[in-house]
Structure 1
C-alpha cells in the first residue's frame, strides 16, 4: 500500500488565548479506501482541510483549539514517519493492531552480508576466509559419498552489522558473554525515519513524542545506501550528545543506526554517544540496513551476538518481526 503525507502551513488559535504557527509541516495520512482493500489509495480530494486539521490536533495533542487555518496544502506520496492518531501500516497494506491478527508474521533482515574483503569501517581490516579442510580433503576422513567443508574466518569484531557491549568502551563493563538475551530478543522497536533530516546530528527533540523506555530505538537515516563505497566514510549522520543523554534518561534498551557510527567520527575523536549509552548499559547496533521497510511503531527487534568472553563487539544477524 502506498503511503501519503500532507504538507502545509498552519495557524492555530486557542479559545483561551495564544496560538501556534507551523511552516512546511508534514503529517501522515491514513489510507482512504477506494474499492477493495487491495486498491486503497489516498486522493487529495478525499481529505478536506477540516479532516487534516483534526489529524493535526490529534498528532500534537492540543486542547481548547478555537480554529485551525491551513495554507499551501498538498498531499504527496511519502513514507509515514509515525504521526500520532494515524494507524500505522506495514508494507503489506494492513494497519496495526489488526495486522497482527489478519496477516502472518513477516521478518525483515536488517543486516549487511559479510564476505571476504568487505570494508565496513575504513582503516579496519577486512575479513578473510581460508579453508581448514576442503571437501576434497575430507573424503579421506569419512564414508564414501560423505564430505564436509571447514573454513577459518578471520575478522575484527567491527565487521558488517555489529553490536557494541559496554566492554567495548569500558574495561569493567559487561562483555558479550554477560549480555541478557531478554534485552536483545523481540524488543519493542521505535523507528525514527530521518532520511530527510536537514542536519547530520540527530537531536533529542525527535524523540519527544515517542515512548522510548525499554525500546529499541532505530535511527533510519538512509546512509546504508552508501555502504561499501568511499562515500560511506564521510558526512554520515549520527546521534547528538543531547540525543544520547535523553535516551539514557528515558531508559532506552538498544539504540541502532544505519550509518558509519552512532557518533560523529569527524569531531576529533570524541565519542559522547558511545560513552553515555554504554555506561548506562544500553546496547549499540551500528551499520544496520533496510530500516525503511519498518513502520514507525509496532515491530519487534532482535540482535544477538555469540557468547564470547572477554570480547566487546561482534557481528549480529539483526532483524525485525512485523
Structure 2
C-alpha cells in the first residue's frame, strides 16, 4: 500500500495571542481521503502546539510519497494492515562484499582465493561429496560494517565484548533526509532529529548517498552527522547510529572525528555504509547488525537488516 503526504501552506492563530505561518509544508497522512479539518488537526499534533484557535490550510495537495515520520501519524503497522499477526518483512540493508570492492577510498579492497577447490576436494571425500573452502583477506572497514568502541579507544570493548542485546532487534527510528540537505549544508544537526523519541533505539540516517557506493563520486561531498548531532543522540539515549554515507563524520574537515569520538566513548555503536534505507518506514521496524565476536578487533562487516511488520 503506498504512503501519502499532504503539501500545503498554513496559517495558525493561537487563542492567547500570536500566530504561526508556514510555506511548502509536508505532512504524512494515514490515508489519502482525510478531510481538510483532519489534516489541520494532524498538523497541530505534529508541531506539538497548544491553545490553537484556528488553522487555515492553503494550496492543499495530497500526493503519493514515502512517509518521513510525522508525529501523530501511526506508520508502524502498515496504516490499517489489520491483524497481520507476527508476520514480518525483511529488508536487507547491507552492501554485498566482492573481490576488488572499494568501500572507502584509500583502503585496500578485499581479495578472495581458494584454499580448497571443489575439484581438489573430490580426492579427500567419498564419491559424490565435494566442498569449497575459500580465504578472504580484507580490512575490517569493508562493505557495511560496525564500529565498536575499540575502533577508537584502546581500552574500549572489542567486537567480542559487545552485548548482543545492543545489536539485535533494536527499535528503529529512521530519519529520511535524502531531500533535506545540499552540498552547502552537509552536516546533520540536532534540530532535524529533535522531534523523535530515540531512547533505546537504533537511529538510522537515510541520506540517499548509497546511490554512489562503489563509484568515485561516493568519496567526496558526503553527508555526515555533526558533533552536536552526536551529542544530542547520546543525551537522548540512542544505542546505535547508522548512516548510508561514506562516514559518520566529515572526512573533508581534517583529522578530527567528533561523531566517532563522542558516540564510541558513550558506548553507542556506529554502522556505516548502509543501503536501501528508503525501503524502511520512519517507525515500526526492528534493526539488527551483529558482527562476529572477534577479539582484539574494532570494526567488521555486518549483515544489517530491518524487520518490518507485514
TM over 0.5: yes
Matched, 1:215 2:188: no
Q: Secondary structure at the residue paired with 2:278? A: helix
Partner of 1:205: 191
Bigger mean CA offset, 13-22 vs 47-56: 47-56
Q: Normalization by structure 1: what TM-score? A: 0.91
Map residues 275-290 of structure 1 onto 2, 5 A cutoff. 275-290=261-276
C-alpha deviation, 1:89, in angstroms: 5.8
Cα distance in 1 for partners of 2:24, 2:224 equals 24
- Per the alignment, in what secondary structure is the counterpart of residue 275 of structure 1? helix
Q: 1:99 to 1:113 in 2, by over 3 A?
A: farther
| 1:275-317 alpha-carbon deviations (Å, 9 max, x no partner) | 0000000000000011111111110100000010100000000
Deviations 1:248-294 (A, max 9, x none): 11111000000100011111121110000000000000000111111
User: Contact 1:87–1:96 (CA<8 Å) still a contact in 2?
Assistant: no
Q: CA deviation at 1:48?
A: 3.8
Q: Could you tell me the TM-score, scaled by structure 2's length?
A: 0.95
Which one of the candidate residues 215, 232, 238 is aligned to 1:246? 232
1:83 maps onto 2:62 in alignment: no
Task: Decide which of 79, 82, 87 is 1:95's aligned counterpart.
Answer: 79
Q: Give the length in aligned residue pairs.
A: 305
Counterpart contact for 2:178–2:208, Cα < 8 Å: yes
Residue 124, structure 1, aligned to residue 107, structure 2: yes
Among candidates 304, 308, 314, match of residue 294 of structure 2 = 308
Mapped contact 2:248–2:272 kept (Cα < 8 A): yes
1:170 maps to which residue? 153
Tell me: CA distance 1:283–1:273, structure 2 relative to 1, closer, same or farther (3 Å): same
Distance 2:131 2:264 in 1: 41
- Tell me how far apart the structure 1 counterparts of residues 47 and 80 of structure 2 sit (CA, whole Å): 21
CA distance in 1, matches of 2:306, 2:166: 14
Is 1:146 the counterpart of 2:133? The answer is no
Once residues 104 and 165 of structure 1 are traced to their aligned partners in structure 2, the CA distance between those partners, rounded to angstroms, is 32
The answer on whether the counterparts of 1:200 and 1:238 sit within 8 Å (CA) in structure 2 is yes
In structure 2, C-alpha distance between the alignment counterparts of 1:96 and 1:205, rounded to whole Å: 31
- Structure-2 residue corresponding to 1:53: 40
Task: Classify 1:186/1:89 alpha carbon distance in 2 versus 1 (closer, same or farther; 3 Å).
Answer: closer
Q: In structure 1, what is the equivalent of residue 280 of structure 2?
A: 294
The answer to whether residue 20 in structure 2 is matched with residue 20 in structure 1 is: yes
Kept in 1, the 8 Å contact 2:30–2:79? The answer is no
Shift of 1:139: 1.4
Structure 1 vs Structure 2 CA RMSD: 1.5
Cα shift readout 1:12-52 (whole Å, capped 9, x = no counterpart): 11101122221211101111xxxxxxxxxx2xxx4443222
Shift of 1:98: 4.4
Unmatched 5+ stretches in structure 1: 32-41
Q: Kindly report structure 1 stretches of 4+ aligned residues shifted beyond 6 Å.
A: none
Instruction: Give the drift of 1:99.
Output: 5.9
**Partner deviation per Cα, 1:159-192 (whole Å, 9 max, x = no partner):** 0000000000111111001000011000110000
Stretch moving more, 3-12 or 146-155: 3-12
Query: In the alignment, does 2:183 pair up with 1:183?
Result: no
